[in-house]
Structure 1
């Protein structure tokens, strides 16, 4: 009688390790990207006229939440704002606010390429296929972060809310960005070894 656990096809221990390391790297990439965005934008946000007006009106808009909107905007995700008569409007804050540099679009790209490469190296990827799998694993951690961001970066304003668009947050920031960029990073790291 064998005591080794049965594995399903395609779920070898090295595959699971690759996906696991990718998930951790994806979570790390999201946290790193948010931190870099915070360092690059928080003083601009705190010193803005809009922030001072919202604070004077007693709004609960914290700097870290606005940084979250900017970080999600770096993925192409718009932030939804309540309008008059129950309408909503959406804006990409990097495009809509001159104080934010377009360089912010590079932050998630670099973070995810590095995360994919790190996942491939830590996961012990020995072929480009293994590197791609490890890099694609970043989607797991990054998606968790994107879904958490939808909740954490939502601010109630009366009966309405300001928040990142939930659909594009999940699909574009949470799935498409890490699936493509993490995979490219994993393949590149494996090919260069």
Structure 2
């Protein structure tokens, strides 16, 4: 295995770890609120038992500024709406928005430090590679966190924004910031 493959592999693993810890932290901070929510109760009443972990997934994407597309098929009251529950709920803290950038920056920093990156040019190659691990989990999460209620109602993270914003933009930007910080710290 050559040095570049190792660097990209380390960064990809850091991306996987960042996504997993993001979910775990947001789960820990929000699960009591989610379990008490009307949305979870409705989803469970219509057959999606234990929907709370999926609703937490929505909040993970909402923390990346990815909306949740909710469709309600009820005459006179139905429709489709894009919602960011973190922004629209008084019971959820805006601190959730800080978790993905902080963990992705840490992932970039860790990847740079583990690979002994000391030059900014190398950091600019390693940092964006955090997306190699983060993107597949963002795509998988956008699909896995879908909730169906009845035949035509439900919700899920908005797929295109989940892929582009959460899966590519966030890890590339913050992974790079972390890698550059790691290179600067190593060079001192």
Verify same fold: TM over 0.5. yes
Query: Which residue of 2 is the match for residue 186 of structure 1?
Result: 179
**TM-score w.r.t. structure 1 length?**
0.88
> In structure 1, how many angstroms separate the alpha carbons of the residues matched to 2:26 and 2:141?
14
SS at structure 1 position matched to 2:104: helix
SS at structure 2 position matched to 1:90: strand
C-alpha RMSD of the superposition: 1.8
Query: Which residue of 1 is the match for residue 143 of structure 2?
Result: 151
5 Å-filtered alignment, 1:5-84, equals 13-60=2-49, 62-84=51-73
Query: Which residue of 2 is the match for residue 4 of structure 1?
Result: none
| Structure 1: stretches of 5+ with no match in the other structure | 1-11
Which 4+ residue blocks in structure 1 deviate beyond 2 angstroms? 47-61, 83-87
> In structure 2, how many angstroms separate the alpha carbons of the residues matched to 1:139 and 1:54?
32
Query: Which residue of 1 is the match for residue 106 of structure 2?
Result: 114
Cα displacement (A) at 1:58: 4.2
> In structure 1, how many angstroms separate the alpha carbons of the residues matched to 2:61 and 2:177?
21
Q: Is the 8 A contact 1:18 1:124 kept in 2?
A: no
Q: Is the 8 A contact 1:131 1:187 kept in 2?
A: yes
Picking from 124, 137, 140, the partner of 2:132 is 140
SS at structure 2 position matched to 1:141: helix
Q: Larger radius of gyration, structure 1 or 2?
A: 1
| Structure 2: stretches of 5+ with no match in the other structure | none
